Each structure stands twice: as structure tokens, then as C-alpha cells.
């Protein structure tokens, strides 16, 4: 079937199998390998991208369901050569180790900060609780998001 999805501001039209998952569409069809596949069951969140401005787990969304809609991935966080404060925060606060969960974590964090520019630690933990990190014990991820909140304008 034909799907047309706007990804990071560019429309891509592809013939795909109806069963193709969005994560495979992004990774295999478009070569956007920044979003990762980790569990198949919506538990780990390595695959989180935005679908029409909301974080979704792309391992349990069909590419067909994204037809006519817009997707934003980690590759779109950096704008005009400037890192998003969330990206800078993860670097500054050692919010990542192996880096596998990081794109998904950052997409959710950016979504949170767009709605609440000054979230408390408890809210950050709540919002990220649908995603798993095996390396950091979450502490530095929380600090990274706080860093981003506190440096909303000066990353880059």
C-alpha cells in the first residue's frame, strides 16, 4: 500500500506492506537509524518518536497509521547546527552511556519541556517511566532534563 508520511518536515511516499511497523519504515525505508528497536511490546521505549506532536512507541504503530501525518525523530532535534538543550543536557550531565535508549528518552523529554518548561524531578520521572534505560539508573537522565529546562535558550 502507498503511504505518505511527513518525517522531520519532508514528505516521503513509499509502497509498503500493510503490516510494516513505523519503526522499520523509519529505519529501513528512510534510513533514519537514530530511533531504535528494543522490545516489540511497547515496554522499553527505545523507539519513541513523535507522531503529530505526541510521543509514540514506533514499534507498535503501523507505518500505515502514520499516513498523512507528521513524524519527528531524533535526527530533527538539532536545528541549524545548534543542539537542542535536551541534547546538550544529556552530554553535560552524562545522561547516556551506551546511547541506545537516548533518542527515545530525548524525544519524550523535549515533548515534556514543550508543555512544562520547568518540570520537577517527580514529573520528569513520571513522564519517562514508560521507557527503560539499562545503563544510567535514570539519575543523570533526570538531571539532563533539568539541565535542559534551566538552559532553555543557550544550547548549541
Partner 1 sequence: MTTGFGRMLRKEDQRFVRGQGTYVDDVHLRGMLHGAVLRSPHPHARILSVDTVAAEAHPKVKAVITGETLNERDLAWMPTLAGDTQAVLATDKVRFQGQEVAFVVAEDHYSARDALELIDVEYEPLPAVADARRALDDGAPLVRDDHPGRTGNHIFDWESGDAERTDRVFRDAEVTVSQDMLYPRVHPAPLETCGIVADFNRVSGKLTVWATSQAPHAHRTLYAMVAGLPEHKIRVISPDIGGGFGNKVPIYPGYLCAIVGSMITGRPVKWMEDRSENLMSTCFARDFHMRGELAASRDGKIRAVRVTVLADHGAFNGAAQPTKYPAGFFGVFTGSYDLEAAHCQVTAVYTNKAPGGVAYSCSFRITEAVYLVERMVDVLAFELGLDPAELRMRNLLRPGQFPYTCQTGWVYDSGDYPRALRLAMDMAGYEDLRKEQEAERARGHLMGIGVSFFTEAVGAGPRKHMDILGLGMADGVELRIHPTGTAVLRISVQTQGQGHETTFAQIVAEELGIPPGDVEVVHGDTDQTPFGMGTYGSRSTPVSGAATAVVARKVRERARIVAAAMLEVDPADLEWERGRWFVRGDPDSGRTITEIALAAHSNLELPDGVEGHLDASCVYNPPNLTYPFGAYICVVDVDPGTGKVDVRRFIAVDDCGVRINPMIVEGQVHGGLADGIGMALMESIVFDADGNCLGGSFMDYLLPTSLECPSWELGATVTPSPHHPIGAKGVGESATVGSPPAVVNAVIDALRPYGVRHADMPLTPAQVWRAIQGRPFRTDLAIT
- Minimum CB separation of residue 46 from partner 1 in Å reads 5
* Binding site residues, partner 1, CB under 8 A: 17, 19-20, 24, 27-28, 31-41, 43-44, 46, 73-75, 77-78, 83, 87-88, 90-92, 94, 96-103, 106, 121, 124-126, 128-142
- Minimum CB separation of residue 114 from partner 1 in Å reads 18
CB-wise, 68 or 112, nearer to partner 1? 112
Do you know the residue count of the chain? Answer: 156
> How is the chain split among helix, strand and coil, in percent rounded to 5?
40, 15, 45
CB-wise, 5 or 47, nearer to partner 1? 47
Instruction: Give φ, ψ of 59 to 5 degrees.
Output: -80, -10
- Minimum CB separation of residue 30 from partner 1 in Å reads 12
Q: Which has the closest alpha carbon to 20: 80, 60, 53, 73?
A: 60
**CA 114, 118, 119, 121 torsion: positive or negative?**
positive
CB-wise, 49 or 68, nearer to partner 1? 49
Amino acid at each position: 500500500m502507498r503511504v505518505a508520511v511527513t518525517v522531520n518536515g519532508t514528505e516521503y511516499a513509499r509502497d509498503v506492506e500493510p503490516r510494516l511497523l513505523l519503526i522499520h519504515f523509519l529505519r529501513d525505508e528512510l534510513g533514519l537509524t537514530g530511533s531504535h528497536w528494543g522490545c516489540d511490546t511497547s515496554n522499553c521505549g527505545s523507539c519513541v518518536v513523535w507522531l503529530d506532536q505526541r510521543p509514540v512507541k514506533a514499534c507498535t504503530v503501523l507505518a500505515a497509521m502514520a499516513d498523512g501525518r507528521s513524524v519527528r525523530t531524533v535526527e530533527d532535534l538539532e536545528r541549524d547546527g545548534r543542539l537542542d538543550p535536551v541534547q546538550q543536557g544529556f552530554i553535560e550531565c552524562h545522561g547516556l552511556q551506551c546511547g541506545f535508549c537516548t533518542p527515545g528518552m530525548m524525544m519524550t523529554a523535549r515533548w515534556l519541556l514543550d508543555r512544562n518548561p520547568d518540570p520537577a524531578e517527580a514529573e520528569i520521572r513520571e513522564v519517562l517511566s514508560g521507557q527503560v534505560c539499562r545503563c544510567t539508573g535514570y539519575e543523570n537522565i533526570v538531571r539532563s532534563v533539568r539541565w535542559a529546562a534551566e538552559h532553555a535558550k543557550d544550547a548549541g
